[in-house]
Amino acid sequence: MNEPATALLFPGQGSQTATMRETVERYRPELLELALEVSGDDPFAHAGEGTHFTQPAIYCASLAGFTRLGEPAAELMAGHSLGEFAALVAAGALSPEDGLRLVALRGRLTRNADERSRGGMLAVRGGAEQAAPLAERHGLTVANDNSPDQMVLSGAREAIDAAAADAESEGLRAIALPVAGAFHSPLMAPAVAPLEAALAEVEFRDPRTTVICAGSAKPFEDPRRELAQGLLAPVRWRETLLALRERGAERYVETGPGKVLSGLVRKTLGRDVEALSADSPEPAHV
């Protein structure tokens, strides 16, 4: 009898934990040294202070979690936004060092774009029926379709605040996220061209396994284009999980840090699949 297919999941921004540095130092010390260099400071000590620190820290911690799992050859992989860089590295399509340099640049570019736009993000409890009209009324973008009961809106800070008040008056649960930036919205447009230029200089290889792009919910076809456009495109995470399930995935293992994606697996696919995380006292066995 064949073993059920496993999908490895790599988290994005918002998944940072206090133990990231310790995990990286133990399992990927070479990435820790490079992270200090490309960030200009210790990104783990400043995680949460800006994307230029948070994104490199999470990227390194995701690959450290992958190593902690024994770098398994899973049948399927996917990453949530930032996590796509780590997923492509784990699949052999990109070197860890190139991935880290790209992520550090991405973090700086998104920080600079936010300094111009002063944007934000709003998590809305509910599906498209609740979130889409709210976004349209306030000129916001649906940035993340995370699960059947969680959508994230993105846009100018004033519009985010107005949408939050509007949601409350309608009895919807909406929470402004502690992020500095209107990610996956047109306000990130200034970051696209510089990231495209950097991606053009990096070698990409054919991945060893199928990596689903969260911007299309289909396998990556042109990582350079898809990673650059991912700054603007919504994260179709619910559809990505459904695509993984359709391809036979019954076990979903999150590399960490955190357990955000494991929770979204349960909300989207129910209890008939196995959702595990490496970021636990006893890491998941793959």
* Residues classed as catalytic: 81, 184
| Side chain identity at residue 280, one-letter code | S
> Cα(185)–Cα(178) distance, rounded to whole angstroms?
17
DSSP class of residue 52? Answer: H
How long, in residues, is the chain?
286
Kindly state the helix (H) or strand (E) to which residue 29 belongs, with its residue range. Answer: helix 29-39
Structure tokens at 25: 């130092």
Tell me the C-alpha to C-alpha distance, in Å, between residue 120 and each of 48, 81, 184. Answer: 14, 16, 11
Q: Which two tokens stand for residue 121?
A: 């993000």
- Interatomic CA distance for residues 86 and 41, integer angstroms: 21
User: Rounded to an integer, what distance in angstroms lies between the CA atom of residue 216 and that of residue 238?
Assistant: 11
Identity at 19, one-letter amino acid code: T
Widest Cα–Cα separation across the chain: 56
Give the phi and the psi of residue 10 in degrees, each rounded to 5. Answer: -120, 120
The DSSP annotation for 84-137 comes to HHHHHHHTTSS-HHHHHHHHHHHHHHHHHHHHHH-EEEEEEES-HHHHHHHHHH
Q: What is d(CA 58, CA 156) in angstroms, rounded to the nearest whole number?
A: 25
Query: CA-CA distance, 86 to 124, in Å (whole number)?
Result: 27
